[in-house]
A and B are shown apart, each in its own frame.
Chain A
């Protein structure tokens, strides 16, 4: 569909700017002039009139999934645009954007990543309890609204039938059992949640190209070695790797059985220092009472060292002098890995 690139009017909406286009619709930031309120509207084109009911399914499901961690639908309408019938979903505007755009903009700490996934899993569990599968859990479908993490885009959602259904669209985080047996279940949503967490903590924005660049991605997915093959950032703590392997194992009896079970594993973690990577050479951290910095420095004579300070005071026991570039990086990664959790 060719939509105007500038602002345009659609019923009561003044359409301001494109927020994203996915596979099935276009999402815009819009001003609801009746309420003088900001909204996000998703415009879905109808190819044939008999698609109306199936196109409204996403709206129906969202209406049955009202939860603090699921994006809120206000209404759904059938409207006319450029002489064509379109379905317009009126959604709460998520001012924080999606996690995929967030992770492109900045480093997400391990704690932040986990908090997002934990909240998302609350929403997902609710959807599961209402009888729906999401089937497209990924960073682009997790939004932040007023600081609260929300699961969004139920465009592929369905009731569990065991089969993948219409197979509409490309499913990003294809689970092993979906690949081999073409099934989607609660546990395939768990798998996709695990991949999403992996991407957040490892700063993997472009999943598709990293997967297709592997030699035999299908085999890596089905035998459960994909994540290890892609590799973890060297500062990722063991606790997270364990949770990821439990979320993404191809052995269904060993995988988390519910969103709640996976969320519990995340909620149980106890943080020590929350580290942020400011640049490849500099980290800053904080716990409840103290702030930390850690940086690689090079003296005028070319001597490399790692300087660690707490509340602005150098901690000589944690500093390292006269080391090579690689040792300095490894030293900082190890500190982050070993002090992230309590």
Chain B
């Protein structure tokens, strides 16, 4: 199963494409896109629609997973939360299952790992380090996909 994992950051859309299994996950690719300016919300949502669609049409994932930020601040609502509404609608229209995860659901147990394991370090171990932009947000996009494998 091919899974698209998505994590947003202010002004950035990060995604990763995974296949394999929970025990043997495989990172096919990862990508960072810069969004347009955040000051015009309708334009920004249009940008997200275009780019979510383009990514889905290009990679044809079987499932889409995304990370949702808990307790967002007001300005984060526009850059981190509202675009996920657009994503859900696109997935519904394209009949692709879409699953959300928040940080509290990033548990080692779900991945068959010991509680002491640092998931972000584990990402380096399993997938190697993949600069540039091999950071928390990028790994978030991987972990949400990994959780669904």
Contacts known (A264-B34, A267-B34); A129 close to B50, Cβ less than 8 A: no
Question: Contacts A267-B47, A288-B39; is A122 near B54 (CB within 8 Å)?
Answer: yes
Given A69-B50, A122-B50, the answer on whether A267 and B58 have CB atoms closer than 8 Å is no
* Size bracket of the B interface: 10 to 19
| A-side contacts of B53, CB under 8 Å | 68
Contact B54 A267 (CB under 8 A): no
Considering only CB atoms, which chain A residue lies closest to B31 in the complex? A260
- Contact yes or no, A267 B39, CB < 8 A: no
Say yes or no for A270: interface residue by CB 8 A criterion: yes
Residue contact B50 to A267, C-beta cutoff 8 Å: no
Q: When the two chains form their complex, are residues B50 and A68 in contact, meaning their CB atoms are under 8 A apart?
A: yes
In whole angstroms, how far apart are the Cα atoms of A223 and B33 in the complex? 32
Kindly list chain B residues whose C-beta atoms are within 8 Å of the C-beta of A288. 39
B36 within 8 A of A: yes
Interface string of B29-45 (1 = CB under 8 A from A): 00001111101000000
Within 8 A of A (CB), among B45-68: 47, 49-50, 53-54, 57-58
Q: Name A101-148 residues within 8 Å CB distance of B.
A: 118-119, 122, 125-126, 129
The docked-state distance in angstroms from the alpha carbon of A268 to that of B35 is 7
A271 CB–B CB distance under 8 Å: yes
Chain B residue at minimum C-beta to C-beta distance from A287: B39
**Interface size of A in residues (CB-CB distance below 8 Å):** 15
With both beta carbons as reference points, the residue of chain A lying nearest to B43 in the complex is identified as A115
* Nearest CB on A from B42, distance (A): 11
Please state if B35 and A267 are interface contacts (CB–CB under 8 Å).
yes
A-contact 0/1 string along B13-25, CB 8 Å cutoff: 0000000000000
Closest chain-A Cβ to B148's Cβ sits at a distance in Å of 25
Q: Is the CB of A267 within 8 A of B36?
A: yes
Inter-subunit contact B50/A268 (CB<8 Å): no
Interface secondary structure of A, over-half rule? helix
Binary CB contact string for chain A from 261 to 289 against chain B (1 if under 8 A, 0 otherwise): 00010011011000000000000000010
Complex: A268 Cα to B36 Cα, angstroms: 6
Complex-state Cα separation, A271 to B37, whole angstroms? 8
B54 touches A126 (CB 8 A): yes
Residues of B within 8 A of A125 (CB): 54
A264 touches B33 (CB 8 A): yes
CB-CB under 8 A from A268, the residues of chain B are 34
Residues of chain A with a CB closer than 8 A to B50's CB: 68-69, 119, 122
Chain A, residues 246-272, CB within 8 Å of chain B (1/0): the string is 000000000000001000100110110
Separation of A264 and B47 alpha carbons in the complex (Å): 11
State the CA gap A126–B58 with chains docked (Å). 8
B65 to chain A, nearest CB (A): 22
Rounded to whole Å, the gap between the CB of B53 and the closest CB of chain A is 8
A270 to B53, CA, bound (A): 23
Of the candidates A129, A270, A271, the one whose C-beta lies within 8 Å of that of B58 is A129
Is B54's CB under 8 angstroms from A270's CB? Answer: no
Task: State A125–B49 Cα separation when bound (angstroms).
Answer: 15
Q: State whether A270 touches B37 (Cβ < 8 A).
A: yes
Give Cα A68 to B50, complex, Å.
8
Closest Cβ–Cβ distance, residue B8 to chain A (whole Å): 15
Q: How many angstroms from the CA of A288 to the CA of B40 in the assembled complex?
A: 9
Chain B residue nearest to A69 (CB atoms) is B50
Query: Across the two chains, which residue of chain A brings its CB closest to B39?
Result: A288
CB–CB B34/A129 < 8 A: no
Specify the chain B residue showing the minimal Cβ separation from A265: B34
How far, in angstroms, from A288 to B39 measured CA to CA in the complex?
8
Give the interface of B toward A (CB within 8 A): 33-37, 39, 47, 49-50, 53-54, 57-58
Contacts beyond the supplied A267-B34, A267-B47: 8 A-B pairs with Cβ under 8 Å = A68-B53, A122-B50, A122-B54, A126-B54, A129-B58, A264-B33, A271-B37, A288-B39
Residues of chain A whose beta carbon lies under 8 Å from any beta carbon of chain B: 68-69, 118-119, 122, 125-126, 129, 260, 264, 267-268, 270-271, 288
Which 7 residue pairs spanning A and B have beta carbons closest together? A268-B34, A267-B36, A270-B37, A122-B50, A129-B58, A288-B39, A267-B34
A-B contact pairs, 25 of them (CB 8 A): A68-B49, A68-B50, A68-B53, A69-B50, A118-B36, A119-B50, A122-B50, A122-B54, A125-B54, A126-B54, A126-B57, A129-B57, A129-B58, A260-B54, A264-B33, A264-B34, A267-B33, A267-B34, A267-B35, A267-B36, A267-B47, A268-B34, A270-B37, A271-B37, A288-B39
